[in-house]
Structure 1
Amino acid sequence: MAELGPGEGMATDVAEQAEGYARLLDAGLAPIAAVSRRIAELKPRFVLFTARGTSDHAALFAAYLTEIRLGIPTGLASPSAITVYGARPDLRDALVVGVSQSGGSPDLTEVVRVARDAGAHTLAVTNNPDSPLADIAEMHVDVLAGKERAVAATKTYTAELMALLLLVESVRGIDAADRAELDRLPELARGVLADPTATQLAARYRFADRLVTTGRGYAYPTARETALKLMETSYLSALAFSGADLLHGPLAMADPDVPVLAVVGDGPGGKAMGEVLGRLAERRADVLTVGSGAAPANAVRIPTPRVDERFSPLLDILPLQQLALSLAIARGEDPDAPRGLKKVTETL
C-alpha cells in the first residue's frame, strides 16, 4: 500500500465524519438507548466525567448537556486527585463516565476502577470495546468510529460527541422532532465538509504566532478542541477562553495581530457572545466567526447550518478541523504525525 502524503490520513478521517454520524444513528442508537435506560433506572444523584485531551472536550460538551437537559449536577473529575494524590472520594450513587478514544489510558482506567470500588456506577465511552477502560467499567458505549489514520483526533472526537448526545437525549427521551433533526445531521455534515471556505482561509493565518479561540455554552468545547488541534498540528500558541472569561484580563491580548476564532451560534450561547464580539471590534481584532449566528461587519465568517444549539458542535467543529489541517500543511507540517505525539495518552 502506498505511503500517505502529509495530511492525507487526517483529510480522510475528516471526510468520514458524516458517515460516522449515520452509523451511530443506525447501528449505534439501540445499544446506546439500552445503556440510557439503565442510567435512568439508576437515578444517579450526580455525574462525573473523566477524560484527557480531545476526549476531555467531548466530556465537557456532555457535562453541559447533562446539567441542562437532565438537571443532574455534573462535573469533570481531576484524575490526578486519585492517581497522584491517592484521593478516595465518596462516590455512592454517582455515575462516573470515562471518555477515551483508545480506552487505553492508565489514569482513566484507574479512576474508573477506584470509582467503582467507591460505590459509583461506571460507564466507558470508547472507540475500542476490548480496551482496559471498557473492561473495567460496568457499562460501555462504542462510538463506532473505526480506525483513525492520523494521530490528531478528528472523527473519533465527533463520534464521541454524537454518542454522548444520543446517550443524554435517550435518558430524557428522544421525541419525533429531535429525531428528525438528528437524522439531518449526516447530510448537513456533508454540506459543511464540501464548503471550501475553511481551506481557503488557511493562508490568512499561515504566519500567525498565536491565536485565541472562544465560545460560550455548547460552543465552548468546540473552542477548546480547535485550540488543541491548532497547537498539535501547526505548533501555534492557541489559547481557548469562554466568552465570559475572555471579557476579563485575556481581552487585553486581542489586537489586529492576534487572530480570534469565535464559535457563534444563534441560540442562547451564541447570543451571549454579542458583547464579546462588540468588545473585540472595539479593539480592531482580526475575528473569524464560525457558526450559524450573526457576525460583526468587520469579521470573516464560515457559516454552518442552523440547528438546535445542542447539535451545533457536531457541525461547527468540521470547518475548524479543515482549517487546522490546511494550515498545518501550509506551514510545512504533517498533521498526520505531529512531532512528539502518540495516539494513546499514557499518563498515570
Structure 2
Amino acid sequence: MIGETQTRMATEAAEAPDRIALQAASLAEPLADLAAKWSASPPRAIVTCARGSSDHAALYGKYALEIATGLPVASLGPSVVSVHETPLRLDGMLYITVSQSGQSPDLLRCAEAARAGGALVVAIVNDSASPLAGAADIVLDMQAGPEHAVAATKSFLCTLTTIARLIAAITDSPATDAAVDRLPEQLRSGSKDPWPSEILDRYVDAGRAFVIGRGPGLGVAAELALKAKEVAGLHAEAFSAAEVQHGPKAAIGPDSPVILLGTEDAAKASVEEAARTVGALGAPTFGSLVAVPGIVDLPTVRTGHPLTQPIVQAGAFYGFIEKLSRRRGLDPDNPPSLRKVTKTL
C-alpha cells in the first residue's frame, strides 16, 4: 500500500479545472472551421471511433450529439478496418475519433479509411503532433497537458469538455459554451466537499459494484466503472437506468453497492425509479442528485446544464476511487498489468 503522500492520480485530477480553462482560446479556430463546414454541408450522420476511456467519452458524445442535433451517432468498431480490412462508406458523414495519445494503430487506420470513404474527420487528441492528428481534417487539442498516472482523469474530463464545446459550435449554443466556462470553478468547489466516508466503508470489501446513468451520463457511468476496475481492482459494471430494469437487476443485492448519477433533465425520473428498484433489492445505494428516500446522498455541485453535470460527477468520483484504491491496499498510480499508452489492432 502506498502512503498518504499525494498520488499522481490525485494531482492530475486536481489539474483539470486549469486545463479546461485553457480550451476556449485554443479551440476557437478549429471549432469555427468545423461549424462553417457543418453549416455549408450538414452531415447525414455521425460516426465515432475510440477505445477505453476515450470510447466512454465518445458515448457521452453520442447521446449529447443525438439530443442536440437529431442525427444518429454510431460507434465504429476499429477491428472492422484494422482486422477485417473493410473499406468504409461514409460519404457525407462526420467522423469523430478520440484518443488521448493519438498513437494506437487501429484508430489511425480507421481514420485514414474514414477519410478515404468520404467522411469529414475530426480528431480529439492530447497531442496535436500525434499520428492520429495527422490523419484528420480538423484537430481538436484537448489541452490536458502531460498525464503520467496510468488511469486517465484530467484527459477524460478535458475530452468531455471538448465534445461539449464541439456541440456548442455546431448548434450555435452560447449557453453551452458559457456552461463549460463555469466548469473550472464548479469542479474546484466539488473537490472541497468530498463524498462521505460511508461509501468508502461499503466499497472497501465489495466484490462487485454497479454504476447507473442515463443519456450523456451513461458514458460517464461507463468510465467510472472502468476506473473501479483499473484503480481499485473492483469489478464494476455500468448500465442505463432503463437497461438495469431488465436482466442486470438479477445480479444486484446486498453484496453489490450501486452508484446512481442523477440528471437535471428529462431523464431524472427514470434514474430515480432505478434508485427505488435497486434499493428495494437491498443493495447499498448511493446517489448523486437522486432525491429518493433511503439512499445515501453524494454531495454534488449543480451546474445548471445537462452536458456539464456528468463532468462534475466524474470529477467527484475521482477523489473517491483514489481513496478507495489506497484503502484496498493498492497503488492508484500503477495498476497491475496496465500501461499508460496501449497500442492495439
Distance, in Å, in 1 between the alignment partners of 2:82 and 2:36 is 31
Is the counterpart of residue 111 in structure 1 residue 107 in structure 2? no
Q: Percent identity at matched positions?
A: 35
Equivalence for 2:235: 237
Deviations 1:192-220 (A, max 9, x none): 11112256732331111110111111211
Question: What secondary structure, in the 3-state scheme, does the structure 1 residue paired with 2:150 have?
Answer: coil
CA deviation after TM superposition for structure 1 residue 33, in Å: 3.2
Residues 214 and 263 in structure 1, CA contact (< 8 A), matched pair in contact too: yes
Equivalence for 2:282: 284
Question: What secondary structure, in the 3-state scheme, does the structure 2 residue paired with 1:128 have?
Answer: coil
The correspondence of residues 16-35 of structure 1 with structure 2, limited to 5 A, is 16-35=15-34
Distance, in Å, in 2 between the alignment partners of 1:311 and 1:111 is 29
Query: Which of 322, 330, 335 is residue 333 of structure 1 equivalent to?
Result: 330
* AA in 2 matched with 1:193: S
CA deviation after TM superposition for structure 1 residue 48, in Å: 0.3
CA deviation after TM superposition for structure 1 residue 261, in Å: 1.0
Is the counterpart of residue 182 in structure 1 residue 180 in structure 2? yes
Deviations 1:269-309 (A, max 9, x none): 2222122112112212111112x342x22211113222221
Distance, in Å, in 2 between the alignment partners of 1:342 and 1:204 is 29
* AA in 2 matched with 1:217: G
Residues 23 and 299 from structure 1, CA distance in 2 versus in 1: closer, same or farther, beyond 3 angstroms?
same
Residues 97 and 111 in structure 2, CA contact (< 8 A), matched pair in contact too: yes
* AA in 2 matched with 1:146: G
Question: What secondary structure, in the 3-state scheme, does the structure 2 residue paired with 1:303 have?
Answer: coil
Distance, in Å, in 2 between the alignment partners of 1:97 and 1:180 is 23
Paired residues in the alignment total: 343
Deviations 1:208-261 (A, max 9, x none): 111011111121111100000000011111111111111011101111111011
CA deviation after TM superposition for structure 1 residue 5, in Å: 7.5
Equivalence for 2:342: 345
Residues 6 and 251 from structure 1, CA distance in 2 versus in 1: closer, same or farther, beyond 3 angstroms?
farther
CA deviation after TM superposition for structure 1 residue 35, in Å: 2.9
Distance, in Å, in 1 between the alignment partners of 2:330 and 2:169 is 41
Deviations 1:72-114 (A, max 9, x none): 2211111111111122231111111110000011100010011
Distance, in Å, in 1 between the alignment partners of 2:5 and 2:43 is 46
Between 1:325-334 and 1:27-36, the stretch displaced more is 27-36
CA deviation after TM superposition for structure 1 residue 343, in Å: 1.4
Between 1:75-84 and 1:194-203, the stretch displaced more is 194-203
Structure 1 unaligned regions, length at least 5? none
The correspondence of residues 7-18 of structure 1 with structure 2, limited to 5 A, is 8-18=7-17
* AA in 1 matched with 2:158: A
Is the counterpart of residue 164 in structure 1 residue 160 in structure 2? no
Residues 6 and 334 in structure 1, CA contact (< 8 A), matched pair in contact too: no
* AA in 2 matched with 1:263: L
Equivalence for 1:201: 199
Is the counterpart of residue 261 in structure 1 residue 263 in structure 2? no
Equivalence for 2:215: 217
Equivalence for 1:302: 298
Distance, in Å, in 2 between the alignment partners of 1:162 and 1:338 is 26
Residues 174 and 252 from structure 1, CA distance in 2 versus in 1: closer, same or farther, beyond 3 angstroms?
same
Distance, in Å, in 2 between the alignment partners of 1:26 and 1:56 is 25
CA deviation after TM superposition for structure 1 residue 20, in Å: 1.9
Question: What secondary structure, in the 3-state scheme, does the structure 2 residue paired with 1:273 have?
Answer: helix
Residues 165 and 176 in structure 2, CA contact (< 8 A), matched pair in contact too: no
Residues 325 and 331 in structure 2, CA contact (< 8 A), matched pair in contact too: yes
Distance, in Å, in 2 between the alignment partners of 1:298 and 1:14 is 31
Residues 4 and 327 from structure 1, CA distance in 2 versus in 1: closer, same or farther, beyond 3 angstroms?
closer
Distance, in Å, in 2 between the alignment partners of 1:135 and 1:315 is 32
Residues 266 and 293 in structure 1, CA contact (< 8 A), matched pair in contact too: no
CA deviation after TM superposition for structure 1 residue 30, in Å: 4.2
Distance, in Å, in 1 between the alignment partners of 2:272 and 2:329 is 36
Distance, in Å, in 1 between the alignment partners of 2:140 and 2:317 is 26
For normalisation by structure 2, the TM-score amounts to: 0.94
Equivalence for 2:39: 40
For normalisation by structure 1, the TM-score amounts to: 0.93
Distance, in Å, in 1 between the alignment partners of 2:285 and 2:199 is 12
Distance, in Å, in 1 between the alignment partners of 2:163 and 2:32 is 11
* AA in 1 matched with 2:334: A
Query: Which of 253, 268, 272 is residue 270 of structure 2 equivalent to?
Result: 272
